[in-house]
Amino acid sequence: MLAVLVSLVPVAVAGAMSTVPASITIVILLSSHPRRRALAFLIGTITGSVVIVGLSSVGLGFLSNIPRWNEDEFQAALGLVIGAFLIGYAVYLFRRKGTRESAMLGKITAKFQSARTWEFIGLGLGLNLRPKALVLAVTAGALISVQEPSALVRTLLVLGYAVLAQSAVVVPILYWVRSPERAEGQLAAVYAWLQRNGRIVTAATILAIGAFIIGYSLLQV
């Protein structure tokens, strides 16, 4: 179980390292009716993550029964694959220009004023279908399933992954709830910083996480 936790946490942290959910969350908190919209968005993101990881952990359970793999070998092989994916994604982020992401955020936030509450739930759900988020969630499900945990342990692992992977949404909302007036100025400053530096910081962090996962996986072989 310790091995799966060591493997699962970096995957969840890699999932949390994204400027898009954080930026959208901050824009929601700075918009009109932030409490209702932020809650709906939070429900959507957490629910989407739980559903994908949960279904993956159940559906991929048969992988742990493949005779040629034991648990350590399977986790090591999966770690090497996901580590390589993260390093490749980091290189992509380093080379990509930020204008495309800014344009996407602009289109999303332009609709906030007329959007209904259920649309924020849908937006949260939809962010879990981004390629990186989807790959990492399915990987987390596979890491959980290989241990064949009890229903309670499986549920706790899935929920734990979902909350950590969505911390870019959870943390700003919790911070805003404590003191909305004080948080507004600081969140606006964080948003501006993310637009300037978020892509590079995200790429560097994901590169480090990918290298760590590969190194740890090689030690398990």
State the sign of the Cα–Cα–Cα–Cα dihedral 132, 137, 138, 142.
positive
pLDDT digits (tens, 9 = 90+) for 169-178: 999 999 999 9
Alpha-carbon distance of 14 to 17, in angstroms, equals: 5
Domain interval for residue 48: 2-220
Backbone angles phi, psi at 76, to 5 degrees: -65, -45
What is the arithmetic mean of pLDDT over 111-136?
88
33/117 Cα distance (integer angstroms) = 10
* Amino acid code (one letter) for 192: A
Confidence band (pLDDT; 50, 70, 90) for 70? low
How many domains does the chain fold into?
Answer: 1
pLDDT per residue over 21-46, tens digit each? 999 999 999 888 899 999 999 999 99
